[in-house]
Amino acid sequence: MKLLTHNLLSSHVRGVGPRGFPLRLEATEVRVIPVEFNPDFVARMIPKVEWAALLEAADHLHLAEVPKGPTQGYEQDETFLRKMHHVLLEVEVVEGTLQCPESGRVFPITRGIPNMLLNEEETET
């Protein structure tokens, strides 16, 4: 699971609503895989990123050099975009967990794939 994905996921446990975001990330196995740098795509993603959630997740993975927020004129700032590219797309959680901050419910990540399934009683109506 990439950090871009983590930034888009929220718990849908019944009753939590917007307090289900962000999920608390823990990892027991992480890998870094190179992905071709595409500055236009990265620049498009910047406005959609929730920075606090990203910084918290990056911190849990002990990542260094994570920008604290978008720089002025970031669309042309290659250094910034390359760092964001790395953080959002090249770091993958292979084994770990995502935890709902409100209910404590844990969703496992196995072979890089989160399992978000819940029982009927647990989900939103």
Partner 1 sequence: EIKSLLSLFGGQFTNNQETYGKIADGQRELIESYSVKKRHYIGNTSMDAGLSFIMANHGKIKKNDIVFDPFVGTGGLLIASAHFGAYVYGTDIDYNTIHGLGKASRKNQKWRGPDENIRANLRQYGLEKYYLDVLVSDASKPSWKKGTYFDAIITDPPYGIRESTRRTGSQKEIQKGIEKCPESHVPVSLNYHLSDMFFDLLNFAAETLTLGGRLVYWLPVYTPEYTEEMVPWHPCLKLISNCEQKLSSHTARRLITMEKVKNFENQDQYSHLLSDQFLPYQGHNSFREKYFSGITKRIAKEEKSSQE
* Residues in touch with partner 1 (CB under 8 A): 1-2, 4-5, 7-12, 18, 21-22, 35-36, 38, 40-41, 44, 48, 50, 89, 110-121, 123-124
C-alpha 22, offset from chain centre: 8
Q: Which CB atom, from 50 or from 59, has the smaller least distance to partner 1?
A: 50
Q: Which CB atom, from 79 or from 123, has the smaller least distance to partner 1?
A: 123
The helix (run of H) or strand (run of E) holding residue 30 is: strand 24-32
Q: Judge whether 54 and 26 are in contact, CB under 8 Å.
A: no
The helix (run of H) or strand (run of E) holding residue 81 is: helix 78-85
Q: Which CB atom, from 12 or from 24, has the smaller least distance to partner 1?
A: 12
CB of 36 to partner 1, least distance (A): 5
- Helix, coil or strand: residue 29: strand
